[in-house]
Amino acid sequence: MFMSKKFLFFFFFLFLLVFIKVFLSSQFLTFIVVSVFSFFVWRKANKRNLLPSSCYPSNDEKKKNGNCFGSSHLQQFYETYNISLPPMLVLATDLDETLIGVCDNETHEQGEKRLKQFNEMWLTQYAPKNCVLVYATGRTFEKYQLAAKEWPLLKPDILICQDGIKIYWFNKQLANLVESNFIHKSNFVDQSTQEDFILFDKAWDEHLEEIWNQQYVETTQSEIISEYSSQTMTIPIQRGRVERFFVCGIAKTREIAMEVAKRFKDKITQHNVENLSKNSNFVKMDIHYTLFARSNNSWFVTVLPSRAGKGGAVSWVQSRLYFGHNCDHKIVVCGDNENDISMLTKSEYCSVIMNNSTSELINYYEEYKHSRNNMIKTEQPRTLGVIEGLQYFSKIVK
Ligand SMILES: [Mg+2]
C-alpha cells in the first residue's frame, strides 16, 4: 500500500531485464509486454497526484510557507522518534476561531505569533510524550489547504474535514500501527503526493454509507429548498453542488434553520417507516444536523449521517488509536461553535470551550459546568485558549 514511485520504477527495470533475457529471440513479444507494463506504471504514478498542480507551491514558496497541508516539522520529528499506541494524549481541536483567528483589533501577525507559540509547545512538550495532534474542522479538504497557506499551521497527524465527513491520516507511522490492528478490514486509500503522505480513511467512509442513501437525500434537499425558497433559504455558491454525506444551506435566522433541519429529519423518518413496512431488513437512514452562526448573522444548517459530526469522527479516530485500551481523560477537545458541540458534549472527553465561543456554546457550558469536572471555559480566546486548555488538562493525564 505504501509503495513509492522509486520502488515502482525499480520493479519496472527488473521486469524489463528479465524479459529481455527470457524472450531474447522474441523481440516483438518483449516490446508488447514492456509497453503494456510501462502504461500501467505510468498510470499508477500519475494517479497519486490527485490534487490540482496549482495547489503546490514553488520551491521558494515552500521554503517560506511549508507545503499545502502545513509545515512538516511534526513529520520530521517522527523520522527520529518512534510513536507507539495507545497515545498518552490526543488533542482534537477546531481551527477557525479556535486554533486560528484574531480579534477585531488585532493583526494577522499577532495571530501567527501565537500559533507559532502553540507549535513550539506541541513540538517540544507534547509530541515527544507520545501525543497525537488532530484538527477537526468544518472546512473541506481544499479549504483546509487555504488555511494552511494563510496560517503557519503544523501539518497534523490526522485531519478531520467537513464536520466529520472525511478523515485523512498524515502520520505514516501512526497509520501503519493502526493498520496492523485492523488487518481484516479495508482501511485506507493511498492518496499520497510526491511531497506528502496522505491516507484517506476508507473504512470511515464505508461506515457512514451504511446509514445513508445519497439519492434520497438529494431529492429531499431539492424538495425542501423549493418549499423554503420564499423564506430566503439559499445554498451557498461554493457549496451549491450536493456533496456526498453532506447537505447544507443558509437561513437568515436560527429559527428558519432549525425548521428546515427538522423538516429534513421528519422526511427521513417517514422514508424509514415506509421502507421498513415493505422490508424488515431495511437499514434505517439516520441523520444528524447542526446549526451554526456565520459572520454576517445568517445561519448554516448542515445535515450529515448521524454517525458523522466532529464527535463521531473523533470517536472513530479514538477507537483506532485506543484499540482495546481505556481513553478516559486522554482526549482533549477544543471548539467555539455549534458544530463543535458533538465532540464537546462527550462526557469521557476533556472539553475546552473557548472564551470567544458562540452564545449557544456558552449556554451549554453554564448549564453543565457543575455536573462535569472535565470541562472548562478558557480565560483566553482562540490560540491562547487552546494552549490554556491543553496545559490545564495535561496535568491530570497520567
Ligand atoms: Mg470554529
45 CA from centroid of ligand 1 (Å) = 37
In this structure, what DSSP letter does residue 125 have?
I
Centre of ligand 1 from the C-alpha of residue 8, in Å? 42
Q: Does domain 54-209+309-394 have CATH number 3.40.50.10740?
A: no
Residue 168 CA to residue 161 CA, distance in Å, equals: 8
pTM: 0.78
- Quick check: 131 and 278 in contact, CB under 8 A? no
pLDDT of residue 243: 77
Q: Distance from the CA of 255 to the center of ligand 1, in angstroms?
A: 21
Q: How far is the CA of 296 from the centre of ligand 1 (A)?
A: 15
* Partner residues linked to 190 by β-bridges: 199
Alpha carbon of 344 to ligand 1 centroid (Å): 12
Kindly give the distance from the C-alpha atom of residue 76 to the centroid of ligand 1, in angstroms, as a whole number. Answer: 28
Cell numbers standing for residue 130: 507520545
Are the C-beta atoms of residues 111 and 394 closer than 8 Å to each other? Answer: no
Q: DSSP letters along 166-192, please?
A: EEEE--HHHHHHHHHH-TTS--EEE--
Find the 7 Cα to ligand 1 centroid distance in Å: 42
Distance 383 CA to ligand 1 centre (A): 11
Which letter does DSSP use for residue 68 in this model?
Answer: T
Determine the Cα–Cα distance for residues 99 and 335; give it in Å rounded to an integer: 9
Cα-to-centroid distance, 226 and ligand 1 (Å): 30
CA of 270 to the centre of ligand 1 (A): 33
Output the pLDDT for position 201: 95
Spell out, as residue ranges, where the chain has pLDDT lower than 70.
Answer: 1-13, 15-67, 183-186, 230-242, 397-398
Ligand 1 centroid distance, CA of 100 (Å) = 9
Amino acid at 84: S
Report the separation in Å between the CA atom of 357 and the middle of ligand 1, taken as the mean of its atom positions: 8
Ligand 1 midpoint to CA 121 (Å)? 21
Q: How far is the CA of 295 from the centre of ligand 1 (A)?
A: 11
Q: If you measure from the C-alpha of residue 49 to the centroid of ligand 1, how many angstroms do you get, rounded to a whole number?
A: 30
Secondary structure percentages of the chain, helix, strand, coil, to 5: 50, 15, 35
Q: How far is the CA of 335 from the centre of ligand 1 (A)?
A: 6
